[in-house]
Amino acid sequence: HMKGAIFDLDGVIVDTAKYHYLAWRSLAEELGFQFTEEHNERLKGVSRMRSLDILLEIGGLEFSEAEKLVMADKKNRLYVEYISGLDESELLPGVKAYLSGLRMRGVGVALGSASKNAVFILDKLNIAGLFDAVVDGNKVSRAKPDPEVFQTACWELGLQPQDCVVFEDAEAGVAAGKAAGMQVVGIGKREVLKEADLVVSGLHEL
């Protein structure tokens, strides 16, 4: 019986993955190497600094921590520029209906995202009011697949892990949900989200 529902943001609520991809690709181009959509799969659900490490590993480059902070900041400024035009029309199908339905049934609704831009995005999409708790990359320090983000969200909802269901599109996120002892609904493809308890193509299917 589900008492709490914890949603990832990027790829579950809104398709920001394409903007993350464009921003990382432009950084890679500047550094002189190709960064493909296939490479980008490895960055989904992964924190900003860890994503940069993976990107640099793909390019076979090494930099100091200080240089990496500058690069991550540059990528983020470009990303924020891309998403500053977001509006409700970019909500993924079924999001509003599903979240509102859960709330009407008394299910606690939380966000569990690695993004430090989560609140900005929720405001742009005009759905901040649908969440009882928002846990993002500013609140937690351990990135998915670590369960911290979902454990914190569950705690903020006042629930136990076995009462919560996680909705995730990334492999690292599914692993984080399972590590937290929760049921996980994968959003995407079964081949990628092997560990999920159920896989659907989007919230509109539920």
Query: Which residues are near Mg ion by CB under 5 A?
Result: 8, 10-11, 45, 169-170
Q: Which of 44, 56, 109, 130 is close enough to bind ligand G6P by CB under 6 A?
A: 44
Q: Does 45 bind ligand G6P (CB under 6 A)?
A: yes
Please give the helix or strand (H or E) that residue 189 lies within, else none. none
Tokens 């909500």 appear where? 91
Toward Mg ion, which CB reaches closer, 75 or 144?
A: 144
- Binding residues for ligand G6P restricted to 70-129, rule: CB under 6 A: 76, 113-117
Toward ligand G6P, which CB reaches closer, 3 or 42?
A: 42
Residue 146, binding choice from Mg ion, ligand G6P, none, Cβ under 5 to 8 Å by partner class: none
Q: Does 10 bind ligand G6P (CB under 6 A)?
A: yes
Q: Does 152 bind ligand G6P (CB under 6 A)?
A: no
Could you tell me the CA-to-CA distances from 130 to 52, 85, 123, 153 in Å, in that order?
32, 21, 11, 14
196: nearest Cα among 179, 122, 175 = 175
Q: Does 25 bind ligand G6P (CB under 6 A)?
A: no
Toward ligand G6P, which CB reaches closer, 117 or 151?
A: 117
Structure tokens that stand for 100 in this block: 């509102």
Tokens 């008492």 appear where? 3
Q: Which of 5, 27, 46, 95 is close enough to bind ligand G6P by CB under 6 A?
A: 46
Please indicate whether residue 10 is annotated as part of the active site: yes
Q: Which of 14, 43, 125, 154 is close enough to bind ligand G6P by CB under 6 A?
A: 43
Burial of 105 (0-12, 13-18, 19+ CB in 10 A): exposed
Please indicate whether residue 123 is annotated as part of the active site: no
Catalytic residue chosen out of the listed positions 10, 136, 146, 169: 10
Q: Contacts for 148-152 with beta carbons within 8 Å, 24 or more apart? A: 149/112, 149/113, 149/114, 149/176, 150/6, 150/112, 150/176, 150/177, 150/180, 150/182, 151/180, 152/112
Query: Shortest distance, CB of residue 31 to ligand G6P, whole angstroms?
Result: 17
- What is the rounded CA–CA span in Å between residue 92 and residue 90? 6
Q: Which residues bind ligand G6P (CB under 6 A)?
A: 10, 20, 43-48, 51, 76, 113-117, 137, 170
